[in-house]
């Protein structure tokens, strides 16, 4: 039988709702995927302001959920479950989405599923590419940089993580340092296209170490020191700094992911695929570097479409659907969690 799940995502600065289904044939479909970005509201601050984000979610959530149903051509009574991101994230925003989802579940009498936001990213490749477990996931976003062995729904082995900045955070800080618009990732990538990636020789932190952890703060400091030394910066300087920084990030991510593949083998895990997910996975140079590594390792490489790399409701709806099919539902006591490590998650009915 077919199954349809509503997913709500409000962990950061996107208010999002989507309806995803699995048809009787087993084919997964995104019936609607509505995302309202708050970039303009936070741009002046160079980053997300939690209080502004929470208020914006309150103002937008009902409208976005209604649009998700309208775009899917469905009524609330026609869904089979309601999923919401319960963390990790900015607690005010998480509470908005969680409360809305619980209310819809109560009114419709449908099961409620509390989703770890990171699990949404981790399982997106199964929505888009129907991947088999296990696979190696490089999760790179504004707040997270992790390597995980994805062994099943709720079954994640964290192999490595960042000891300081997340990759997306480093991109944002470099952009702010160089006077580029927020969000920093797309701005730095755009400037880097016109720059010389070999002009500045930046460090590749943690490269060659056996444990697949990450560190970005030293690289960020190196960029700042060079920028201060050659100031005032010309347009060419900015482009070259961005290109050289991005080249260093790609090298670090490829090296650390290679270490993650070794860690998988040592743990007795044979990944079917190398997967990149999260907002930073939209970066084309990072994708290209990981594609080369996957070819070297004899594995396919999958990254979701750019529209599904950033935060969205479809990934939450899909994670909810995966759990609902296994009978993994939650009660109304599920709480909003600002911190929720993915490897602490358990698939328990």
- Over the stretch 30-52, which tens digit does the pLDDT of each residue have? 999 999 988 888 877 777 888 89
Domain ranges of the chain: 3-125+308-344, 134-305
**Residue ranges of the chain with pLDDT lower than 70?**
1, 346-349
Counted residue by residue, the chain has a size of: 349
Q: Report pLDDT for 347.
A: 52
The torsion defined by the Cα of 33, 82, 65 and 338, in degrees rounded to 10, comes to -90
Q: What pLDDT is attached to residue 348?
A: 46
Q: What is the pLDDT of residue 349?
A: 39
CA-closest candidate to residue 216, choices 205, 227, 201, 228: 205
Enter the tokens of residue 126: 């199964």
Q: In what order do the strands lie in the sheet with 81-87?
A: 28-37, 14-22, 3-9, 81-87, 112-116
Residue 35 near residue 312, CB atoms below 8 Å: yes
**Distances 281 to 11, 151, 179, 273, 285 between C-alpha atoms, Å:** 18, 21, 23, 15, 9
Note the pLDDT of residue 42: 85
**Contact in structure between 82 and 108 (CB atoms under 8 Å):** yes
**CA dist 4 → 28, 105, 128, 152, 181 (Å):** 10, 13, 16, 21, 38
Q: What is the mean pLDDT of the chain?
A: 95
CB 167 within 8 A of CB 253: yes
**134-305 and 3-125+308-344 share a CATH fold:** yes
Q: What is the 3-state secondary structure (H, E, C) of 243-285?
A: HHHHHHHHHHHHHHHHHHHHHHHHCCCCCCCEEEECHHHHCHH
pTM value is: 0.95
Residues near 202 by beta carbon (within 8 Å), at least 6 away in sequence: 219, 222, 223, 226, 244, 245, 247, 248
Give the CATH number of domain 3-125+308-344; options: 3.40.50.2000, 3.10.290.10, 3.30.420.40, 2.60.40.10.
Answer: 3.30.420.40
pLDDT of residue 45: 77
Gyration radius of the chain over CA positions = 20
Q: How far is CA 148 from CA 38, 232, 342, in A?
A: 29, 42, 9
Strand positions, DSSP E, 121-222: 135-140, 145-152, 155-161
Edge-to-edge order in the sheet of strand 155-161? 155-161, 145-152, 135-140, 274-277, 301-302
Q: How far apart are CA 328 and CA 310, in angstroms?
A: 25
Q: Residue 346: what pLDDT?
A: 63
For domain 134-305, give the CATH superfamily. ATPase, nucleotide binding domain (3.30.420.40)
* Residue in 247, 1, 278 with CA at minimum distance from that of residue 147: 278
């Amino acid at each position: 039988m077919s199954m349809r799940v509503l997913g709500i995502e409000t962990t950061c600065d996107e208010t999002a709702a989507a309806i995803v289904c699995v048809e009787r044939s087993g084919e997964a479909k995104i019936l609607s995927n509505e995302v309202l970005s708050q970039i303009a509201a936070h741009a002046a601050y160079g980053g997300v302001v939690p209080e502004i984000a929470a208020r914006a979610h309150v103002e937008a959530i009902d409208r976005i959920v209604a649009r998700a149903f309208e775009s899917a051509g469905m009524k609330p009574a026609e869904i089979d479950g309601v999923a919401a991101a319960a963390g990790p994230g900015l607690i005010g925003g998480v509470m908005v989405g969680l409360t809305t989802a619980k209310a819809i579940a109560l009114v419709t009498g449908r099961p409620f599923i509390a989703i770890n936001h990171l699990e949404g990213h981790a399982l997106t490749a199964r929505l888009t590419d129907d991947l088999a477990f296990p696979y190696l996931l490089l999760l790179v976003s504004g707040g997270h940089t992790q390597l995980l062995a994805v062994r099943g729904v709720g079954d994640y082995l964290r192999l490595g993580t960042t000891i300081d900045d997340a990759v997306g955070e480093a991109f944002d800080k470099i952009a702010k340092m160089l006077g580029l618009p927020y969000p920093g990732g797309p701005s730095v990538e755009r400037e880097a296209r016109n720059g010389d990636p070999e002009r500045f020789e930046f460090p590749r932190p943690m490269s060659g170490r056996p444990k697949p952890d990450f560190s970005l703060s030293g690289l960020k400091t190196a960029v700042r020191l060079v920028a201060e030394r050659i100031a005032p910066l010309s347009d060419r300087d900015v482009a070259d700094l961005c290109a050289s920084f991005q080249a260093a990030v790609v090298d670090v991510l490829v090296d650390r992911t290679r270490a993650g593949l070794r860690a998988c083998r040592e743990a007795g895990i044979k990944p079917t695929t190398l997967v990149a997910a999260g907002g930073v996975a939209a970066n084309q140079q990072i994708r290209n570097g990981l594609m080369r590594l996957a070819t070297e390792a004899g594995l396919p490489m999958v990254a979701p479409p750019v529209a599904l790399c950033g935060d969205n409701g479809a990934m939450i709806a899909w994670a909810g659907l995966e759990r609902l099919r296994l009978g993994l539902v939650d009660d109304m006591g599920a709480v909003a969690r600002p911190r929720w490590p993915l490897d602490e998650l358990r698939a328990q009915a």
